[in-house]
Structure 1
Amino acid sequence: MVLAPGPNAEAARKKTGKKRGWRRRARPGGGAPEHPARPHPARPPQHHEDFSRNWKALRELLKQKPQASEKPMGVSQTTPQVIQPKNTPARIKKEETQSQGPEREADKRKGPIQLEEKGSKKRAHGDPALKSTYPGPKKQKGPVAPAPPRNPTEEDLWFDDVDLADIETTLGPEAGRIIRQRMGRRKVAMTLEKEQAFTGLTKALALDCEMVGVGPGGEESVAARVSLVNQFGKCVYDKYVKVKQPVTDYRTAISGVRPQHLLQGEDFEVVQKEVADMLKGRVLVGHALHNDLKVLFLDHPKRKVRDTQKYKPFKTQAKSGRPSLKLLAERILGVQIQQAEHCSVQDAQIAMRLYITVRKEWEKAQNRRSL
Structure 2
Amino acid sequence: MVAMEVKNLSSNWKKLQEQLKKQPQKTSLSTPTFTASKKPASKQKKQGGSDGAAVSGHDGKTVKKRRISDISSPATKSKGQPVPEKGKKNNKKRKMDSETEADISEKLAETKIASRKSSSASLTKVVSNQSTERSSKVNEGLSPTVKVGKYVAIDCEMVGVGPNPDRDSSLARVSVVNYDGEQVYDSYVQQREEVTDWRTHVSGISPKHMLAARPFAEVQQDVAKLLDGKVLVGHAVSNDLNVLMLGHPRRDIRDTSHHPPYKKLAGGCSPRLKMLASELLGIDIQGAAHSSVEDARATMLLYRRDKDTFEREHAKKWPVKVVQAAEGGRETTPEQEKRKKRLKKKKKKAKK
TM-score (norm 1): 0.48
CA contact (8 A) 2:150 2:230 kept: yes
Shift of 1:218: 1.9
The match for 1:234 among 161, 182, 186 is 182
Deviation string 1:105-127 (CA, Å, 9 cap, x unpaired) is xxxxxxxxxxxxxxxxxxxxxxx
Shift of 1:194: 6.0
Corresponding residue SS for 2:174: strand
- State the superposition RMSD in angstroms: 2.6
Are 2:151 and 1:212 equivalent residues in the alignment? no
Alignment of 1:102-251 (within 5 A): 185-186=117-118, 188=121, 190-191=124-125, 192-193=127-128, 195=130, 199-219=146-166, 220-251=168-199
Shift of 1:308: 0.1
- Match in the other structure for 1:296: 244
Shift of 1:359: 1.1
| In 2: Cα distance, 1:205 partner to 1:328 partner | 19
Are 2:261 and 1:313 equivalent residues in the alignment? yes
| In 1: Cα distance, 2:309 partner to 2:253 partner | 15
Shift of 1:368: 4.2
CA contact (8 A) 1:194 1:232 kept: no
| In 2: Cα distance, 1:322 partner to 1:364 partner | 19
The letter for the 2-side match of 1:205 is V
Q: How many residues align?
A: 193
Are 2:309 and 1:353 equivalent residues in the alignment? no
The letter for the 2-side match of 1:216 is P
Deviation string 1:308-367 (CA, Å, 9 cap, x unpaired) is 000001112343411100011111111111110100000000000000011123223323
Alignment of 1:29-68 (within 5 A): none
Shift of 1:305: 0.5
The match for 2:201 among 253, 266, 271 is 253
Are 2:273 and 1:325 equivalent residues in the alignment? yes
- Match in the other structure for 1:89: none
In structure 2, do the counterparts of structure 1 residues 355 and 365 end up closer, same or farther at CA, with 3 Å as the change threshold?
Answer: same
| In 1: Cα distance, 2:156 partner to 2:302 partner | 18
Shift of 1:290: 1.1
CA contact (8 A) 1:193 1:232 kept: no
Structure 2's unaligned 5+ residue stretches are: 1-109, 135-144, 320-352
Corresponding residue SS for 1:218: coil
- Match in the other structure for 1:267: 215
> Which structure has the greater CA radius of gyration?
1
The match for 1:284 among 232, 248, 264 is 232
The letter for the 1-side match of 2:121 is V
In structure 2, do the counterparts of structure 1 residues 322 and 340 end up closer, same or farther at CA, with 3 Å as the change threshold?
Answer: same
Structure 1's unaligned 5+ residue stretches are: 1-177
| In 2: Cα distance, 1:193 partner to 1:199 partner | 16
CA contact (8 A) 1:217 1:249 kept: no
Corresponding residue SS for 1:188: helix
TM-score (norm 2): 0.51
Deviation string 1:58-86 (CA, Å, 9 cap, x unpaired) is xxxxxxxxxxxxxxxxxxxxxxxxxxxxx
| In 1: Cα distance, 2:121 partner to 2:314 partner | 28
CA contact (8 A) 1:193 1:234 kept: no
| In 1: Cα distance, 2:280 partner to 2:300 partner | 13
Shift of 1:188: 2.8
Alignment of 1:15-34 (within 5 A): none
Corresponding residue SS for 1:238: strand
| In 2: Cα distance, 1:320 partner to 1:327 partner | 14
Deviation string 1:119-165 (CA, Å, 9 cap, x unpaired) is xxxxxxxxxxxxxxxxxxxxxxxxxxxxxxxxxxxxxxxxxxxxxxx
| In 2: Cα distance, 1:324 partner to 1:339 partner | 13
Relative to its length, the structure with more helix (as a share) is 2
CA contact (8 A) 2:265 2:271 kept: no
Calculate percent identity across the aligned residue pairs: 42
Shift of 1:294: 0.8
Are 2:300 and 1:367 equivalent residues in the alignment? no
CA contact (8 A) 1:194 1:233 kept: no
The letter for the 2-side match of 1:202 is G
